[in-house]
Amino acid sequence: SGTWTIDPAQSTGWLVGTLPIEEAIFFLVTNTLVVFGITLVMSAESHDRVPASVRQRLSAMRRHHDHPLEA
């Protein structure tokens, strides 16, 4: 039917509301990793650590994205 389920033999059976604890932990961990990744990308310290060649390439990509008809 297009919906997957957790095998009861592979589950603790604990629920958070109606959500299996395994699913709750999965969503918590994946969302935390996404937030950490976004925070890292946005951090000025991270920008300073990027090699100059990569910064130049990203800058060129941004310019092309902002003005795609200019080459």
- pLDDT per position as a tens digit, 52-61: 888 888 888 8
16 vs 69: CA distance, rounded Å: 52
- Asked if residue 37 lies in contact with residue 46, where contact means CB atoms within 8 angstroms, the answer is no
32 vs 53: CA distance, rounded Å: 30
- pLDDT per position as a tens digit, 30-43: 999 999 999 988 88
The pTM of this model reads 0.59
Q: Which amino acid is at 3?
A: T
- Asked if residue 40 lies in contact with residue 46, where contact means CB atoms within 8 angstroms, the answer is yes
